[in-house]
Amino acid sequence: MAVPVPAESALSLLQLMLRMRRLEEEVIHFQRDHQGLIRGHVHVYIGQEAAGAAGCSVLRKEDRLFTTHRNHAHVLAKGGDAGRILAEIIGRADGLCKGRAGTFHVADPALGILHTSAIVGGCLPLAAGAAYAAKLQGSGQATVAFFGDGAMEEGVFYETLNIAQLWQLPMIFYMENNAVLPGERSGRGSPSSEHSAEALSDIPQAFGVLTQHVDGTDAEAVLELMQDLVARSRRGEGPFFVESRTSRWPGNYGSVPSLVGGDTDISWAWDWQSAPEVVRRWEELSDPIMLYARKLLDRGALTIDRLVELDGSVREEMGHAAEFALNSPLPDAAGALEYAYA
């Protein structure tokens, strides 16, 4: 059980999680309401916000972050500008990568986000490289790589884990297991139908890597764990492995994400029974934002009025960010080869 964080930090954490949720809802609006605006596939981070918000909020600007196809909200949590993230997702000139990266590779090296990649497992060796550099330079930078349970089926995961342990790299492997059923977020974890290991966390332990489990829907539990691991990484310790358990958001089952219960209604924090049936059980047991808001309301660290106001200002921010992105021009075709090298 995590120690409650001071009220002001708790509100900042909740606000960050809400910003992540509302950003991703704008992405789904783009996809749903403007045909062809997002070219190709898109994934969202809805349902995993506690992990990303708490995990990134303990990082400094110079610390390194690597992530996957569910990258948008991680980039926001590490300090990325919402308008420029959305502009990147739709390939516009004002995007963080000048429209060259699109949804799958949104990154911002100035914020320590050197690369993000939709190649499952693709960021792991790059993260190990960054951690190796930090070790050689004695820079005290922490490196965190977020990745999904699916990456543990990839050969590159094993090579990276092995090298990281052999070379004692100051790196955190943060594995987001989003295949967990509601109520199964503690204990040893259930076997994955896609993997021959009995529990995924047996694997890093077999390599001798210090391994922890955390309820990925519990923002304060993630915060407490990551504060410790990041501090140790800065002292040059590592590697560390975290299995963070969440239950898949119902809108993430189809081939494209869909707001199956509509946009998140903040009243579900105190009245989950009013949520549409398709998301009701998930809102009751598994939505990290609702769980945290409910906890803060129960603790007296938050009032309903304050929560509604907070959400209103976040929605306004993301509405402006979406407008900024939509008003940004496409990159100039004549510059298509800029920033490319061979």
Query: Residue 217 touches which of ligand TPP, Mg ion, none (CB < 5 to 8 A by kind)?
Result: none
**Closest to Mg ion by CB, 70 or 295:** 70
Task: Enumerate residues 178-207 that contact Mg ion by CB under 5 A.
Answer: 178
Q: In a 10 Å sphere around its CB, with 0-12 CB exposed, 13-18 middle and 19+ buried, how is residue 37 labelled? A: middle
Site track for ligand TPP across 102-141, x = CB under 6 A: ----------------xxx---------------------
- Cross-sheet strand order for the sheet of 171-177: 115-116, 64-67, 143-148, 171-177, 240-245, 210-215
CA 171 – CA 129 distance, rounded (Å): 10
Contacted by 294, from ligand TPP, Mg ion, none: CB < 5 to 8 Å by type:
none
Nearer to ligand TPP, 200 or 302 (CB): 200
Pick between residue 55 and residue 148 the one whose CB is nearest to Mg ion: 148
Letters for 145-174 (x = contact with ligand TPP by CB under 6 A, - = none) are: ---xxxx-----------------------
Closest CB 174 distance from ligand TPP, rounded Å: 12
Would you say 9 and 58 are in contact if contact means Cβ atoms under 8 Å apart? Answer: no
CB atoms within 10 A of CB 47: 26
Q: Under the criterion CB under 6 A, does residue 56 sit at the interface with ligand TPP?
A: no
Please identify, using beta-carbon distances, which residue of 252 and 328 lies nearer to ligand TPP.
Answer: 252
Cα–Cα distance, 222 to 217 (Å, whole number): 8
Contact 293, 15 (CB under 8 A): no
**Residues belonging to the chain:** 342
By the criterion CB under 6 A, which residues form the site for ligand TPP?
69-70, 118-120, 148-151, 178
